[in-house]
Amino acid sequence: MTASAPGGTQRPSPALVRAELAAWVRENWDPDMTLRDWRELLLASGWAVPSWPQRWYGRGLPAWADELVAAELIRLGAVGVPVGSGSWLAAPTILAHGSDKLKDRLLRPILTGEQTWCQLFSEPGAGSDLAGLSTSARLDGDTWVINGQKVWNTSAHHADMGMLLARTDSDVPKHQGITYFALPMSQPGIEVRQLRQMNFHASFNEVFLTDARVPQDNVVGEVGQGWGAALTTLAYERRFSALQRPSYSAAPGRALDAARAEANDHFATYSWYPQRAGRADLVIEHARRAGVSNDPVIRQAVARLLTMQRVSTWTAERARVARTLGARPGAEGSIGKLAASNIARESARVHAMIAAAAGLLSGPDSAFGGLIAEVLVSVPAQSIAGGTDEIQKNILAEKVLGLPAEVKVDRDVPFSQLRHRG
């Protein structure tokens, strides 16, 4: 059998997938072709997203094949589909919930890198309580007209498209009147304002929608059924919160140059994310440089932090192997996200212990060229982005441990009758 023949009697093995991919890359990869041409080949071959159906650029392989093939393409010196909210969040949501026409129109430009996306979910009054959102959408002929405000929208200042949640019916309970739209970002009704953060970066935005327009065909799923599609996006967001920048080959070539430039462009917005994660990798060197690596209290704190980090790596690795063996994704998204918050906070605490009063200094002359100062003011974001720690604990308590659900008095009341909306 071949790895491109789903439904065979034998399950495709990782070794078989690797071998078949390597043979295909040997035959087709040419670093001097344009990145666009290379990605068109990837799409046509089904190696773009191998777990997807053949009709949409895949091979119908098990879910583990996506991670494996993405890593193998880079190891072989080639390039895969682009990184970013488009391929990580919008594409799997559209694949799961969109009509065939929408899939035909929207998936290809995401996978070739022609269109980038941002997530327009959170609002000033709706973050953890996302279903309480109040941005509205009203149908006018064959176009939806959108009014409201979004906030915290990473990369909205340079995205082509937005994953937009808006309320299309206020007379039903809050989860039922939401619709998921694919919103073209470049239009007069959309104003994007960058927000300056306390670490001086500006990676997210406020987005003001004033009579912004979305074609009727751009509804993802059914009108009023957007909550289900939103949950799909959020599940992918938790799963991919730890995704790394691809380390493309440094070899010359047109496609490689373009892929490196694309990654530089994308990750410019996220340059502070390693600091947000706490930079546990720097604690030992930091202690040495500060002359405190023999201090027993510091040594204890460093050992505790690195132990937490090692345990978390093993948990993630166990989950990855389970996926490779065909297990359904479980609680590891929420567990991993919580562990990342705990490690980031502990790492910031250890860096602050090591730096002592010098931890108050910032700028290029401070420890590690300003990186430690950036850690101390970036770490709080880790436990908020993509769903707060408390929300992850609620998910684990209810979905994994089977504890009684949180009391929700507003679940069955029509949205328009909720008192705080008045």
Residues forming the site for ligand FAD (CB under 6 A): 118-122, 127-128, 152-154, 204, 381, 384-388, 390-391, 394, 406
Alpha-carbon distances, residue 358 vs 355, 362, 385 (angstroms): 5, 9, 28
**14 vs 127, beta carbon nearer ligand FAD:** 127
Q: CA-CA distance, 6 to 360, in Å (whole number)?
A: 58
**59 vs 239, beta carbon nearer ligand FAD:** 239
**128 vs 187, beta carbon nearer ligand FAD:** 128
Phi and psi angles of residue 145, each rounded to the nearest 5 degrees, phi first: -110, 125
- Residue found under tokens 């790394």: 244
* Exposed e or buried b per residue across 250-261, where buried means at least 16 C-beta atoms within 10 angstroms of its C-beta: eeebebbebbbe
For the bound state, the minimum distance from the C-beta of residue 278 to ligand FAD, rounded and expressed in Å, comes to 14
- Residue found under tokens 């720690």: 389
Give the Cβ contact number of residue 22 at 10 Å: 14
**72 vs 237, beta carbon nearer ligand FAD:** 237
Q: Is 206 a catalytic residue?
A: no
**119 vs 347, beta carbon nearer ligand FAD:** 119
Q: Which residues fall within 8 angstroms of residue 52, CB to CB, at 6 or more apart?
A: 58, 59, 60, 95
Helix 296-324 crosses helix 332-355 at what angle (to 10 degrees)? 160
- Taking the mean position of all CA atoms in its chain, how far away is CA 295? 39
For the bound state, the minimum distance from the C-beta of residue 129 to ligand FAD, rounded and expressed in Å, comes to 6
Q: CA-CA distance, 377 to 317, in Å (whole number)?
A: 29
- Taking the mean position of all CA atoms in its chain, how far away is CA 59? 23
Do residues 117 and 162 touch, judged by C-beta distance below 8 A? yes
Do residues 163 and 120 touch, judged by C-beta distance below 8 A? yes
Q: CA-CA distance, 29 to 130, in Å (whole number)?
A: 44
Q: Which residue is nearest to ligand FAD (CB)?
A: 127
**49 vs 379, beta carbon nearer ligand FAD:** 379
Q: CA-CA distance, 408 to 336, in Å (whole number)?
A: 26
Give the Cβ contact number of residue 119 at 10 Å: 24
| Catalytic residue selected from 237, 262, 332, 346 | 237
For the bound state, the minimum distance from the C-beta of residue 380 to ligand FAD, rounded and expressed in Å, comes to 8
**89 vs 302, beta carbon nearer ligand FAD:** 89
For the bound state, the minimum distance from the C-beta of residue 26 to ligand FAD, rounded and expressed in Å, comes to 39
For the bound state, the minimum distance from the C-beta of residue 188 to ligand FAD, rounded and expressed in Å, comes to 22
For the bound state, the minimum distance from the C-beta of residue 127 to ligand FAD, rounded and expressed in Å, comes to 2
Give the Cβ contact number of residue 229 at 10 Å: 24
Residues annotated as catalytic are 237
